[in-house]
Chains A and B, each alone.
Chain A
Amino acid sequence: MTDPDDPDVTPREASDPSDAALQATAELDSLSLLAEDLLDPSGPLTPSGHLRRRQMVSRLAEAAQTTAAVLAVAVLGILVYSVASRGASVLSIGFLTKDPPVLSGVAGGGIAPAIVGTALIMAVATAIAMPMGILAALFLTEFAGRWTARAIRLALDLLNGLPTIVVGLFVFGLLVVGHHQSGFAGSVALAIIMLPLIARATQEVLTLVPAGLREAADALGVCHWRTVLGVVLPTARGGILTATVLAVARAAGETAPLIFVCSIFSNTTSLNLFGQALPNIPVYIFNASEAAERYGFARAWGAAFVLLAFILLASLGGRALGRRATLSR
């Protein structure tokens, strides 16, 4: 029934049974006379018996939680360190400005074509996804009825949850089959990845625009589109920028959408968005990792370092921007 070593158990039944008041409440008490109840309220408040065990379990659980958090941060640290220490050794001005060597198995060279290509592809992708995302978000917050909004939100969320390789296959089927790979196809694929990110995050900041501002504008007899362009969007500017920067940070490292649509490229700098596949950093790293050649590995570490630095700085910057935007509201 109870632990024999439980010190809380002190017989209380032994107390004077002749007391009238005790008899009066005997009914209520009879139920409570389970030995484990017999708390001695004046006993010391130090843990004993069960409680010591319970506290130990609790402390173990807390230690496990802390360990998990430390582990996650440690993995991040190891990853960043691995990339930084290996990437730094090849990094130089030349690495950022030169073409890779034409032949494999040769040291030196740079990743300039991939940097230019990624920048171009990302710029076009952003130019597609940002206005679309903002407009879709505006539709959700300003125009759509409850059910329409729900359906569109679901579509955006499913689009966001779709395996990115499937997006790659889609753009491959849409733009590459029967034609050829191109930087533009890559931009379209990345824009599809970015669209739901920008739309959902923008919708979020738009709903935070104080209703009072909107009402004030409406009360002035300003029509809806002027309110939106003149009041709502400017107020949410910071948040929209954050959303876009974070989406860029996310899409810049995406490889799966690109390998079917923008992966067979020559390693020379090109600005021809439509005519050919543009070299880009993620596919460059992917190819190098599949090619298993040590100078290729070295350049890939350097490319990984450049990409990771850009992405981490962008997502840090985006977050900081977002925080400032929230604070200034």
Chain B
Amino acid sequence: MNAPIGLTGTLPGDARSRVRSADRIGDGVLYGLCMLASLLAVVTLGAIAYKVIDGASASISQFGLGFLTHSAWRPNFGIFGAGTFLYGTAVTSFAALLLAVPLGISIGLYLSMMASRRVRGVIGPLVEMLAAIPSVILGFWGILVFGPFLQAHLEPFLHRTLGFLPIFGAPSSTGSGLFNASLILTIMVVPIIASLSRDLFLAVPQELQEGATALGATRWEVLRGVVLPSAASGVAAAAFLGLGRALGEAIAVTQVIGAGDFIHVSLFQTGDTLASRIADQYQGAATPQLVASLFYLGLILMVIGLIANIAAQWIARRFDVGRVAAR
């Protein structure tokens, strides 16, 4: 198989250099193309940041940072503020994480520690499939199936039993609202945290678990004492990735949150998030002022989304979260 070497060895000098220069050109072209493609990714990221800031600039110069705290949004009167949407984003994302983190970790533990290899091979992909459901379908289901169920059953129940907490006020009239949005976001975030934490738990050395088991620990003590702490930073990173997802989800939230203009304490009332308000106004983006203010919302969203993702990357420096997130 070393014919090529022998061949080039016997070629006359100029022929050899012709082959070499062709190769050099080929190498150069390949390198150039690859570099351009990589550069394109970086440039796209930069261009997105630039375009969003640029689009928002009119609104930024008009409203300044007061935009963040001002809570009225009246396009017809030229009044714009992101306060209501920041509140809605914070509440729905926080509620979604509050549910999704324990659920996701539990599923991760089940898949990695309890399920047999075969069961894991079935349930794992099913859970990941939950993440593959398009948000527009999830939101559509949220309006027509889930919302009526919440309104008829879960909201009255929570109001009856936990109604002394102001967040569980009177049930909504349609099933749309912060509560529905939080639960839909939970459904989206759980598979992210579950599949990431499953991978993390599977990577915890068997020796550590055996060491703990041999000390007369119950299974749960082994998980709590050794498995969870060993994977803690990765799980935290997964939670931040999930947060990034929850913050940024526009479509499903728009569909189920009810497009409210006011801050309500009760989760059963309507509201809006940054992303859902942008999506909500897609066809009415008529005046330049409204467009600029939507870009301003987008800018805020981009910044907090980037912070959540950078936090995830930074927390799990040793562990390549992006790899799993890009699956």
Contacts and interface: CB of A to CB of B under 8 A. Distances in A.
Given A139-B34, A162-B306, A192 B44 contact: yes
Contacts of B283: 263-264
Contacts of B1: 220
A57 B137 contact: no
Nearest 3 pairs of A and B residues by beta carbon: A253-B134, A163-B248, A157-B322
A250 B326 CA distance: 10
Contacts of A282: 134, 136, 251
Interface of B: 1-2, 4-5, 8, 23-24, 26-27, 29-31, 33-38, 40-42, 44-45, 47-48, 51-52, 54-55, 102-103, 106-107, 109-111, 113-115, 123, 125-130, 132-141, 143-145, 187, 190-191, 194, 218-221, 223-224, 241, 244, 247-251, 255, 275, 278-279, 282-283, 285, 291, 294-295, 298, 301-302, 305-306, 308-310, 312-313, 321-323, 325-327
A264 B123 CA distance: 40
B301 A166 contact: yes
A162 B248 contact: yes
A289 B137 CA distance: 10
Contact of B136 (A222, A246, A286): A286
A69 B198 CA distance: 12
A303 to B, nearest CB: 9
Contact of A263 (B24, B40, B115, B282): B282
Nearest to B127: A72
Contact of A69 (B5, B110, B312): B110
Interface residues of A, number: 100
A68 B106 CA distance: 6
Contacts of A152: 38, 41-42
A167 B137 contact: no
A237 interface: no
Contacts of A255: 134-136, 251
Nearest to A260: B282
A155 interface: yes
B293 to A, nearest CB: 12
B325 A76 contact: no
Contacts of B313: 154, 157
A286 B255 contact: yes
B26 A75 contact: no
Interface stretch (A88-96, A99-107, A197-205, A268-276): A197-205
B136 A285 contact: yes
B129 A173 contact: no
B218 A200 contact: no
A312 B131 CA distance: 10
Contact of A76 (B41, B130, B241): B130
Given A162-B48, A195-B41, A249-B132, A256 B279 contact: yes
Contact of A62 (B30, B114, B130, B191): B114
Contacts of B321: 157
11 contacts: A54-B220, A68-B110, A76-B133, A132-B41, A158-B310, A162-B48, A162-B306, A169-B55, A195-B40, A200-B322, A312-B132
Contact of B298 (A83, A131, A165, A289): A165
Nearest to A223: B23
A226 B5 CA distance: 15
A68 B23 contact: no
Most A-side CB within 10 Å, residue of B106, B130, B251, B283: B251
A155 B308 contact: no
A143 interface: yes
Contact of B129 (A136, A144, A167, A312): A312
Nearest to A77: B126
Contacts of A260: 282, 285
A32 B51 CA distance: 71
Contacts of A133: 37
A140 interface: yes
B152 to A, nearest CB: 16
B139 A289 contact: yes
Interface string A300-329: 110010011001100110010000000000
Interface in A5-22: none
